[in-house]
């Protein structure tokens, strides 16, 4: 008799990550963690971005694991770095405007980390980055753009969604599109198949 695969839980409130896994055909449910990201970022200040996103991804997965000991938990985190400055999600429209003013005409990178917790241990971690060149933007364009996209902007680092109107902000994108959306799907699915957590 075949061993039953564990329940898979995505420890993230991100709509993009949920859609990516759903479209990939993965059976899972969502449970958000209560991790204080701000506190963790302060604790690990000065840590390389690649390590920081993995610490946060792992912390989210471990937090959700506490109430789901038999499940496989997927945690993820994403950060934006431009000229050695880290950008969080904007808190309001003026903050989003400021972010786009700072990023326009420059290259920045999105660093995305994912960790899987199973039986209390991190059994897999992966980090990827994408380099994006934002074109020069007028204040008028930024204002109109923010008006069009609305409140959804507060859920994204960088104040854009590349899968929507945000694509208009860029000259070029170098890297994996799934990573931009917040989850390196292909390496994740490869690992799940390899370990028989999903049908291969």
Catalytic option among 77, 88, 139, 176: 77
C-beta separation of 108 from 81 below 8 A:
yes
CA–CA separation, 58 vs 125, rounded Å? Answer: 8
97-121 per-residue burial string, b: 16 or more CB within 10 A, e: under 16: bebbeebbeeebebbbbbbbbbeee
Task: Find tokens 């950060």 and name the residue.
Answer: 79
| Backbone phi, psi, residue 166, to 5° | -60, -20
Q: What is each CA distance from 159 to 92, 107, 122, in whole angstroms?
A: 10, 15, 31
3-state secondary structure of 132: strand
Closest CA relative to residue 114, chosen from 103, 100, 124:
124
Sign of CA dihedral 6, 119, 113, 124: negative
Task: Find tokens 């997927």 and name the residue.
Answer: 74
Q: 176 catalytic, yes or no?
A: no
* Active-site residue set: 77
């Amino acid at each position: 008799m075949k061993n039953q695969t564990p329940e898979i839980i995505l420890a993230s409130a991100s709509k993009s990550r949920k859609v990516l896994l759903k479209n990939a055909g993965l059976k899972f449910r969502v449970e958000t963690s209560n991790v204080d990201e701000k506190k963790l970022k302060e604790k690990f200040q000065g840590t390389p971005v690649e390590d920081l996103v993995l610490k946060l991804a792992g912390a989210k997965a471990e937090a959700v694991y506490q109430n789901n000991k038999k499940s496989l938990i997927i945690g993820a985190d994403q950060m934006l770095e431009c000229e050695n400055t880290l950008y969080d999600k904007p808190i309001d429209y003026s903050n989003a405007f400021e972010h786009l003013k700072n990023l326009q005409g420059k290259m920045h990178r999105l660093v995305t980390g994912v960790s899987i917790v199973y039986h209390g241990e991190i059994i897999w971690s992966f980090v990827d980055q994408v380099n994006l060149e934002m074109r020069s933007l007028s204040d008028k364009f930024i204002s109109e753009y923010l008006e069009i996209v609305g409140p959804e902007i507060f859920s994204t680092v960088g104040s854009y969604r590349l899968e929507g109107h945000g694509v208009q902000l860029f000259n070029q994108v170098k890297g994996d599109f799934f990573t931009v959306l917040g989850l390196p799907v292909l390496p994740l699915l490869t690992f799940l198949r390899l370990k028989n957590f999903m049908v291969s």
